[in-house]
Amino acid sequence: MNKIIGCILLLFISLQTHAQKVDKVPYDSARMKWFEEAKLGIFIHWGIYAVNGIGESWSFYNKEISYKDYMAQSKGFTASKYNPEEWAKLFKEAGANYAVLTTKHHDGVALWNTKQSELNVVKQTPAKRDLVGPYCEALRKQGLKVGLYFSHLDWSQPDYASVTSPGEINTPTEKRNPFSYPPQGKDDTVRWNKFLNFHRSQLKELSLQYKPDLLWFDGDWERSAAQWRMWELRDSLLKWDPKVILNARMQGYGDYLTPEQGVPIVKPGGMWEFCVTTNDSWGYQPKDRNFKTPRQIINMFAETISMGGNLLLDIGPKADGTIEDEQVKILKELGRWNKKHAEAVYPTVAGLPFGHFYGPTTISNDSTVIYLFLIAQPWDNITLKGIRNKVKSIRVVGTGDTLAYYKNGGASWLNIPGVLYISKPTKYDENLTVVAVDLEGKLDLYHDAGGAVEKN
Ligand code: GLC
C-alpha cells in the first residue's frame, strides 16, 4: 500500500516539475552571454515561396494557391547567385552579431539534404545542393553566431495531421484545416509518434551537422507541450550541444521570448528578442513595397535595446539568393549608424525606467554613462530627471561635440535631484542622434513617487 502511495506521490511530483518548467526554464547566464550582448541579428526567410513571391507556407494553408501549385515553385528555386560570404559580410557591416536562416518553414521544404525526407532543395530543386552548410561557414568566418530556424509543425508530412490539438477539440471537424488536423477527426497516436520520430531525427541532423549556436523554433501552437513532449526535446537538444540557445516557441521550454511585428510597449518578463519585417512580408514578395524607412527601423532598434531586448531584422532573399536593393540599403544604413554609435549600443544594458527621459536610453556596462536617443528633436533643452550623480561631461556620440548643461530645482539636502537641462545639439545625425551623459561614479538614480519636503 505504502509503495502505491509512494508511486502516486512520485508521479505527482514529476508532473508538477514538468508543469513548472513550461513557463520557467532556469536562466543560464553563461550560456546566454553572447546572446545578451548581441543586440542585432538578421532573420532570413528563404525558401521556394520566393519563386512566385508569395506568402511563405501560409499561402497554401490559407488556400490562396493549391498545394500542388505551391510545391511546383520548387522547379524555379535555383539559388544560382547564392553567395553566403556576401550575405555574412553585409550582416556584419549592418552591425549584426548573429543571423537566423529558415532551414525548414511550415511547408516542410528543407534547405539541407535531410535523410528523413525527399522534400529538400537538394532533391527537389535546381539548386541541387545543401544551402545550410555554406551559410554556417560564411557566418563563422565573419565571427557571427549561427542561428537556424526550424518549424516544429510540418504541413507536408501526412503523419503530422494525425492528432488534434486540445485547443481545437471544439472546432467542428469540417472547419479543421486538413494540413494540421486529422480530416476525419480521428486521432492516430501511432502515426503521431512516427511524426515525432521524424521531427527529432531532422533536429538531430541539424544539431550534429551544423552545431548551431541558436535554434529558432516556430509553429509550436498547433499541439500542446505534452503532445510535443517538449521537455524531452529540450533535454535532447542540450545533450547534442550543451551550448545551444533555444527561443521560447517551444511551448515555454525555450530560453527567451520572441515578440513579433510590434515593438513591445511593456517590457517582456525575462530575456527577449523582437523580430520584425522590413516591409510587410517575411519572405521575398516583390509586390510588397511597404518598406519601413531606415529611420523607423533604427528607432525601433533603439526602443528594443532600451528595454533590454535584441532586434532580429528580417530579409527575404530572391530565389536566386540575391537580396533586394531596398533591404540592402536598410542594412547598410543601419551599419553606418551602428558604427558611429557603437558605444551606445554594444557594451550596454537596458536603459532608465520610464519617467526619466522622453525617449529610449541605454546604460554603459559599468553604469557610468547614460545614452539618450533623441527620437524627436527638442524645442530648446533636452531634459533628464532623477540623476543624483554629478555630471562629468555631456557630448554627442560619434561627433565628440560637447553640450552645455545645468541642473535646476530639486532638494539636494533630501537627495532629490533637480532636472538636468542639456543644450540641444547644433548638428543632428540624419537618422538618430545620441547624447552621452558621462557621470561621476556609478549611476545613482532617484526613482521615487516623492512626498512633502518637511525640512527646509
Ligand atoms: C510567424 C509566421 C511565420 C514566420 C514567423 C517569423 O510565426 O507563422 O510565417 O516565419 O512568424 O517569426
Closest of 89, 80, 241, 214 to residue 145, by C-alpha: 214
The three grid cell numbers given for residue 420, joined into one nine-digit string: 538636468
pLDDT at 90 > cutoff 60: yes
Question: Is 220 touching ligand 1 by the criterion CB < 6 Å?
Answer: no
Question: Is 275 touching ligand 1 by the criterion CB < 6 Å?
Answer: yes
Question: Is 260 touching ligand 1 by the criterion CB < 6 Å?
Answer: yes
For residues 224 and 166, the answer to whether their CB atoms sit within 8 Å is: yes
**pLDDT tens digit string along 240-282?**
999 999 999 999 899 999 999 999 999 998 899 999 999 999 9
Question: Is 107 touching ligand 1 by the criterion CB < 6 Å?
Answer: no
Distance CA 164, CA 147 (A): 30
Distance CA 19, CA 308 (A): 28
Closest of 335, 357, 347 to residue 305, by C-alpha: 347
For residues 302 and 432, the answer to whether their CB atoms sit within 8 Å is: yes
* pLDDT score at 166: 82
Closest of 253, 266, 44, 267 to residue 139, by C-alpha: 44
List CB contacts of 167: < 8 A, sequence separation 6 or more: 224
Beta strand extents in 113-252 (DSSP E only): 145-151, 214-218, 245-246
- Give 101's strand partners: 44, 148
Residue 83 identity:
N
Mean predicted confidence (pLDDT) in 411-433: 95
* pLDDT score at 167: 79
Pairing mode of beta strands 361-364, 369-374: antiparallel
pLDDT at 16 > cutoff 60: no
For residues 139 and 88, the answer to whether their CB atoms sit within 8 Å is: yes
* pLDDT score at 168: 79
Nearest CA to ligand 1 atom 9: 56
* pLDDT score at 14: 37
* pLDDT score at 1: 41
Report how far ligand 1's centroid is from the alpha carbon of 218 (Å).
7
**pLDDT tens digit string along 163-216?**
998 877 788 878 889 999 987 768 999 999 999 999 999 999 999 999 999 999
* pLDDT score at 312: 98
* pLDDT score at 185: 67
Mean predicted confidence (pLDDT) in 135-156: 98
Q: Quick one: which atom of ligand 1 is closest to the CA of 260?
A: 12
